[in-house]
């Protein structure tokens, strides 16, 4: 029971760290990201930029899922 609680606690801490890093990155690069995404929405050549974060997140999730098996 104690080991399960410690595992759950470590998952929560890891999620909080990842969330903190993500939020800090978004705050730091807010203006740059706004420029990039507005350009991606306006240009047909650069609109693939919007798909990169989604694909990257999917690949990380898939890799994580395979490594846990």
Q: Give the model confidence (pLDDT) of 6-62 as tens digits.
A: 888 888 999 999 999 999 999 999 999 999 889 988 988 888 888 898 999 999 988
Q: What is the pLDDT of residue 2?
A: 61
Tokens 């595992």, located at residue: 7
Tokens 């650069």, located at residue: 46
Domain count, the chain: 1
- Where helices occur in the chain by DSSP H, the ranges are 2-28, 30-42, 52-67
Cβ atoms of 53 and 65 closer than 8 Å = no
23 lies in which domain range? Answer: 2-67
Task: Indicate the angle between helix axes 2-28 and 30-42, nearest 10 degrees.
Answer: 70
Q: What is the pLDDT of residue 6?
A: 80
Read off the pTM.
0.60
CA distances from 53 to 15, 50, 59, 60 (A): 18, 7, 10, 11
Q: What is the pLDDT of residue 58?
A: 92
């Amino acid at each position: 029971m104690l080991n399960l609680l410690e595992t759950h606690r470590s998952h929560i801490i890891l999620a909080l760290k990842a969330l903190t890093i993500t939020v800090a990155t978004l705050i730091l690069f807010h203006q740059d990201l706004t420029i990039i995404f507005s350009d991606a929405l306006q240009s047909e050549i650069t609109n693939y930029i919007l798909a990169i974060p989604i694909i990257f997140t999917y690949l990380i999730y898939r890799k994580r899922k395979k490594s846990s098996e």
